[in-house]
Amino acid sequence: MKCYGSRAHGRRLDLGLLALRLGTGGVLAAHGAQKLFGWFGGGGLDATGQAFESMGYAPGKLNALAAGLGEAGGG
């Protein structure tokens, strides 16, 4: 097996990927919390459900719940 980089390079790469994953997960979790609980300036489940209904995604509240859980769980 060939080694194309040093261990230090591999560790830096691992730390960089970890930072990207944590940042992306934090953004997803925050967006899910906006939809579900109204945190971080979000409208909460009722307002998000109404927005989904206005865009044609009926039933709005159920779709908002699924979107919020998907984002919060993915984060």
Read off the pLDDT of residues 27-36 as tens digits, 9 standing for 90 and up: 999 999 999 9
In this predicted structure, the answer to whether residue 1 has a pLDDT above a threshold of 80 is: no
Asked whether residue 64 is domain-assigned, the answer is yes
pLDDT on residue 23: 96
- Provide mean pLDDT across the span 49-74: 95
Count: domains in the chain:
1
Q: Which two tokens stand for residue 29?
A: 């979790």
Read off the pLDDT of residues 2-42 as tens digits, 9 standing for 90 and up: 556 667 778 899 999 999 999 999 999 999 999 999 999 99
SS (H, E, C) the chain: CCCCCCHHHHHHHHHHHHHHHHHHHHHHHHHHHHHHHCHHHCCHHHHHHHHHHHCCCCCHHHHHHHHHHHHHHHC
pLDDT on residue 9: 74
| Full domain range(s) for residue 15 | 7-74
Asked whether residue 37 is domain-assigned, the answer is yes
